[in-house]
Amino acid sequence: MSFPTGEAGTQASLAAMLGAYETAELVYFVRNAKLAQTFLLDRFFPNIVESDAPEVAIDVDLGKRRLAPFCSPLVEGKPVESRQWQTNLFRPPYIKDLRNPDLLKPVRRFMGERLLGGMAPAERLEANLEWEIADQVDMINRRMEWMAAQALIGGTITVQGDGYPTPILIDFQRDPALTFALSGAAQWGQTGVSPSAYITSWAALVLQKSGIAPTEVIFTQSSWNAFKADVNVLNAVLWDGRAGDSRADLGGRAELGGINMGRWGQFNLTLYNDWYVDPLTDTEQPMIPDGTVILTGPGLEGTRAFGLIMDPEFNYGPLAFAPKMWVEKNPAQINVLMQSSPLVIPSRVNHALCATVMAAGADVPAPPI
């Protein structure tokens, strides 16, 4: 009996060794579980607009709580100024994600493909291009979720990157009273501190500043642990009939994105977990820093705005995602470019309050029994 030699022999031996097995018996395809979450975008920034200009505008009615003037019927009427409104202009930052896929990928096994291959090079090329474009869209969605978090935390977004010599601050002009940090004995988890009392007073502040009461409270792990240890919260949950429609999941939970933990009074309670890798430091950071509490609601009327694509191939038109591909001749190289110009805008900016209530990872004492 004769056996093939050289590369053919190697392939034949490998085929003989592995040919009896299916792919799933040899390799398990572990899919990426760290995909972009869009809880903040979907919940608080539902409006989506595309602009055919490099800037987007939001008209804001600046109504104040004015009283009609008293005036004697025997004198002429008192002139009253019309209610004011203003137009806020914002320039969305630009995103350009360029990929140069390895030319050898189409002749190598694709992820999830059986070990000896089963796809033609053209099929692998198409699969790899789909892979790259899906990853580009995922990164843009994560960037927009980051924008949403920044807008809720501080009412500002800082733009840094290539082509921006100095950081650009996009300031939505939120009232400074709606962003603060507790210190010392006032922090949650300290003896005698009632997180539920803080939530109620902060909700009244948001109502005063925006005209609409907040209905959502977003917690991180530490702030949630402190809130659910509040004896007032425990009583409201255990004695539901005495506290209206209050019910909460007081057990341990850790899931990606926003988790509905129940309801307390008028507030929907959400535990939020998500992270991103900072491109400037290459370190993973939480979208919302631990120890933070955010009060907001649908009254924010958040908007996802997309500016025009600065590219003649797209006729300078408004698009959320603008992918294009071209091939260099010599040496051969495929280029995949994804362009977008997104900006997340809290239209009623004062309908969000952010408080740093405790240090990240701080211990919370057990509630009194």
**CB count, 10 Å around CB of 67?**
6
pLDDT, tens only, 244-301: 566 777 766 777 778 888 888 889 999 999 999 998 889 999 999 999 999 999 999 9
Q: Provide CB contacts within 8 A for 205, sequence distance 6+.
A: 177, 178, 353
Distances (CA, A) of 24 to 33, 54, 109, 131, 322: 19, 50, 15, 21, 36
Backbone φ and ψ for 251, nearest 5 degrees, come out as: -80, 175
Terminal-residue alpha carbon distance, the chain: 83
Q: Which residues of the chain have pLDDT under 70?
A: 1-30, 106-107, 109-117, 238-246, 251-252, 366-369
The residue whose two tokens read 């927009």 is: 144
Q: What are phi and psi of 328, to 5 degrees?
A: -80, 145
* pTM to 2 decimal places: 0.85
| H or E segment to which residue 323 belongs | strand 322-328
DSSP letters for 225-260 = HHHHT-HHHHHHHHTGGGSSS-EE--S----SEEEE
Distance CA 355, CA 197 (A): 14
Walk me through the domains of the chain, giving residue ranges and CATH numbers.
40-61+83-369 (3.15.30.10)
For position 74, what pLDDT does the model report?
Answer: 87
Instruction: Spell out the long-range contacts of 250-254 with Cβ–Cβ below 8 A and sequence spacing 24 or more.
Output: 254/221
pLDDT at 124: 81
pLDDT of residue 14: 47
Q: Is 262 helix (H, G, I), strand (E, B) or coil?
A: strand
